[in-house]
C-alpha cells in the first residue's frame, strides 16, 4: 500500500521522462531569465487590465471623519461655573477619604474576573494585528514521503520524494495594509473597552460599599425604634389594664412592632445580598467576604466633583472613545474591501525531487517559478462585500451617536440628581434639627410632669424616622457623586482618534492604565 504525505497546495509534479542531472545553480540561472521575462510581461498585462477595469470600479476610499453630533457647549444643571481646565484625579475615589474603600478598590482591580476578561480581549486584538500583517508575507510548505509498492510478480519497491512550495501574494495596492489599520483601530477600541470596564468596576465597588454602610445605619436605627416601640407597647398594656385605653390601641401597637421586626429582617437580607455582590466585584467567592459594620455619615466624606466641558467628554469617556475607534475601523474595512477589487499577483515557486534510493534523492529535481494573476472584479461576492462594509460603517456611525447621546444624558441626569438631593439635604437637616429640639423640650416637660413617657417615646420615634431619611439622603448624594465621576470619564486622559495620516492614536496599554490608576 502506498503512503503519500499530505502537502498543502499542490504536490510537486514528477515527470517520467529522463531528467537531466545538473546543478541547482545552473538550472536556477536559466529559469530566472525565463521567469523574469514572463513575470515582467504578466505584470504589464495586470497593469493594463487594472487600468481597463478601474474605470468601472468604485475605488474611492473614504477619509475618516468623526460622525457629526449636535453641538453642546455647556451643562444645563451645574451650580458652579464650569472650567475647561478642571481635571479629575485618576484615583478619584480617594476624595471620599475612606482607607477601607481604597483597599476594596485595589483588591477589585487585581482580582475582578470581568476586568481580566477585558484585558484578555486586548491581548487577542493585539495578536490579530500580527495575523493581519502576515497576509503580506510569503508562505512555505514542505513535504516528504515514501511510496511502497508490491505485487505478486515483483519484489517490494520503494521510492522517496521530497517537495517544497513557496507562495507569495504581493500586496500591490495596500489591501493588507488597510486590514492591518482596521485591526489596529479594533485594538485601541478594546483598550477603551477595558477602561470603561475599569470605570464601571470602581463605580460598582464604591456604590455597593456605600449601600452596605447605609444598611448598617438603617439596621441600627430600626433596632432603636423597635426598642422604643416595645416600651410604648408596655405603657399601652398598662393603660389598658387600668381601663384608660381600649384594647385596639394595644393591638395597633403590637402590629406596629411586627412591621418593624419585618423591616429589620428585610434590611439584614438586603445587606447580605449587597455583601455577596461586593465579594464578586473584588474577586472573592460570595459568602466568604464580610464588610465590617460601619456608619455612612461618619466614615464617608462628600466631595465636590470637578467638571469639564461637554466637548471634553467625547475625548475622555472610554465608551465614546471605543465607539469612535470602531468607526475608524469601519472606514479601513471599506478601503480594504474596495482595494480587493483590483488584480492581485501571486508568485508561486515549486521544487521537488524523487528517487528509488535516499542517496540519489538530491541528484535530480524539478523546479518551477511562475506568477499568477487574479482578477477579482468579476467576482460578485467582492462587490457584495463592499456593500456589507458600507452598511456596517453606517451602523458604527449611528452607534457612536447613540453612545454620545447616552453620555450627555447620563451626565445631565447625574447633575439633576445631585443638585436635587443636596437641596433635600438642607431641608432634612432643618427638619432633623427641629425634631431634636422638640425631643429635648418634651424630655424636659417629662421631668416637670407636664407630659407622659408615651409622648416622649413618640417624639423620639419621629426623630428616628428623620435620622433614617437623612442617612438615605447621604447615600443618594454619594451614589450621585460616583455616577457623575463615572459619567464624565473618571479621570481618563483625552484620546485623539485619527487615521494613519492624522494624529497619533496610541493609547496606554492595560498594564500602563492599571499602574496609572
At 370, the pLDDT band (50, 70, 90 cuts) reads confident
Segment 300-354, tens digit of pLDDT: 888 888 877 788 888 889 999 999 999 999 999 999 998 888 888 787 877 777 7
Give the whole-angstrom CA distance, residue 363 versus residue 355: 9
**What is the average per-residue pLDDT within 276-289?**
94
**Domain residue ranges in the chain:** 24-61+90-516
Sequence-separated (6 or more) residues with CB below 8 Å from residue 490: 88, 90, 92, 199, 202, 203, 318
pLDDT at 481: 93
pLDDT at 45: 55
Segment 479-496, tens digit of pLDDT: 999 999 999 898 888 888
**Cα first-last separation, the chain:** 67
At 22, the pLDDT band (50, 70, 90 cuts) reads very low
Give the whole-angstrom CA distance, residue 422 versus residue 77: 13
Helix pair 99-111, 175-241: axis angle to 10 deg: 140
Question: Using H for helix, E for strand and C for coil, what is the string for 236-260?
Answer: HHHHHHCCCCCHHHHHHHHHHHHHH
At 355, the pLDDT band (50, 70, 90 cuts) reads low
**Which one has a higher pLDDT value, 313 or 151?**
313
pLDDT at 361: 67
Q: What percent of the chain has pLDDT over 70?
A: 81
Question: Using H for helix, E for strand and C for coil, what is the string for 90-159?
Answer: CCHHHHHCCHHHHHHHHHHHHHCHHHHHHHHHHHHHHHHHHHHHHHHCCEEEEEEEEEEECCCCCCCEEE
pLDDT at 447: 72
pLDDT at 465: 86
Segment 257-277, tens digit of pLDDT: 999 999 999 999 999 999 999
- The closest alpha carbon to 272, from 195, 212, 230, belongs to 212
Q: What is the CATH number of domain 24-61+90-516?
A: 1.20.1600.10
pLDDT at 140: 79
Question: Using H for helix, E for strand and C for coil, what is the string for 29-94?
Answer: HHHHHHHHHHHHHHHHHHHHHHHHHHCCCCCCCCCCCCCCCCCCCCCCCCCCCCCCCCCCCCCHHH
pLDDT at 42: 52
Within its chain, how far is the Cα of 44 from the centroid? 48
At 20, the pLDDT band (50, 70, 90 cuts) reads very low
Would you say residue 179 has pLDDT above 60? yes
Q: Residue 45: phi, psi to the nearest 5?
A: -60, -45
For the chain, give the mean pLDDT.
80
Would you say residue 14 has pLDDT above 90? no
Amino acid at each position: 500500500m502506498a503512503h503519500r504525505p499530505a502537502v498543502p497546495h499542490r504536490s510537486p509534479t514528477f515527470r517520467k521522462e529522463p531528467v537531466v542531472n545538473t546543478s541547482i545553480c545552473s538550472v536556477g540561472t536559466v529559469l530566472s531569465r525565463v521567469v523574469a521575462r514572463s513575470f515582467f510581461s504578466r505584470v504589464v498585462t495586470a497593469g493594463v487590465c487594472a487600468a481597463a477595469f478601474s474605470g468601472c470600479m468604485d475605488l474611492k476610499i473614504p477619509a475618516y471623519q468623526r460622525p457629526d453630533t449636535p453641538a453642546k457647549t455647556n451643562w444645563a444643571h451645574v451650580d458652579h461655573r464650569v472650567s475647561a481646565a478642571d481635571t479629575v484625579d485618576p484615583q478619584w475615589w480617594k476624595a471620599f477619604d475612606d482607607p477601607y474603600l481604597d483597599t476594596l478598590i485595589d483588591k477589585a482591580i487585581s482580582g475582578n474576573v470581568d476586568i481580566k476578561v477585558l484585558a484578555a480581549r486586548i491581548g487577542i486584538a493585539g495578536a490579530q494585528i500580527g495575523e493581519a500583517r502576515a497576509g503580506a508575507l510569503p508562505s512555505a510548505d514542505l513535504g516528504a514521503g515514501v511510496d511502497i509498492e508490491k505485487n505478486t510478480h515483483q519484489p517490494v519497491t520503494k521510492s522517496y520524494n521530497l517537495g517544497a512550495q513557496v507562495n507569495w501574494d504581493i500586496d500591490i495596492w495596500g489591501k493588507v495594509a488597510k486590514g492591518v489599520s482596521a485591526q489596529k483601530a479594533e485594538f485601541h477600541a478594546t483598550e477603551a473597552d477595558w477602561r470603561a470596564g475599569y470605570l464601571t468596576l470602581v463605580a460598582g465597588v464604591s456604590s455597593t460599599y456605600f449601600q452596605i454602610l447605609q444598611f448598617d445605619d438603617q439596621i441600627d436605627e430600626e433596632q432603636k425604634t423597635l426598642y422604643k416601640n416595645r416600651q410604648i407597647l408596655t405603657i399601652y398594656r398598662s393603660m389598658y389594664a387600668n381601663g384608660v385605653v381600649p384594647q385596639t390601641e394595644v393591638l395597633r401597637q403590637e402590629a406596629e412592632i411586627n412591621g418593624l421586626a419585618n423591616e429589620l429582617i428585610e434590611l439584614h437580607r438586603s445587606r447580605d445580598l449587597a455583601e455577596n455582590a461586593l465579594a464578586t466585584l473584588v474577586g472573592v467567592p460570595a459568602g466568604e467576604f464580610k464588610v465590617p459594620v460601619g456608619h455612612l455619615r461618619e466614615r464617608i466624606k462628600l466631595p465636590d466633583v470637578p467638571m469639564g466641558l461637554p466637548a471634553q467628554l467625547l475625548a475622555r469617556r472610554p465608551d465614546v472613545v471605543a465607539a469612535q475607534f470602531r468607526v475608524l475601523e469601519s472606514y479601513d474595512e471599506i478601503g480594504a474591501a474596495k482595494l480587493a477589487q483590483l488584480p492581485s499577483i501571486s508568485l508561486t515557486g515549486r521544487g521537488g525531487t524523487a528517487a528509488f534510493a535516499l542517496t540519489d534523492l538530491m541528484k535530480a529535481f524539478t523546479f518551477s517559478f511562475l506568477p499568477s494573476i487574479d482578477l477579482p472584479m468579476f467576482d460578485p461576492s467582492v462587490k457584495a462585500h463592499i456593500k456589507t462594509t458600507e452598511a456596517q460603517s453606517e451602523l458604527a456611525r449611528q452607534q457612536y451617536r447613540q453612545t454620545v447621546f447616552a453620555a450627555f444624558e447620563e451626565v445631565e441626569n447625574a447633575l439633576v440628581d445631585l443638585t436635587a438631593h443636596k437641596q433635600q439635604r438642607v431641608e432634612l437637616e432643618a427638619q432633623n434639627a427641629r425634631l431634636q429640639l422638640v425631643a429635648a423640650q418634651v424630655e424636659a416637660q417629662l421631668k416637670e410632669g407636664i407630659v407622659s413617657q408615651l409622648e416622649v417615646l413618640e417624639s423620639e420615634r419621629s426623630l428616628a424616622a428623620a435620622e433614617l431619611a437623612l442617612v438615605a439622603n447621604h447615600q443618594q448624594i454619594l451614589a450621585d457623586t460616583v455616577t457623575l465621576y463615572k459619567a464624565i470619564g473618571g479621570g481618563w486622559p483625552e484620546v485623539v482618534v485619527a487615521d494613519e495620516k492624522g494624529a497619533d492614536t496610541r493609547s496606554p496599554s492595560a498594564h500602563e492604565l492599571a499602574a496609572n490608576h
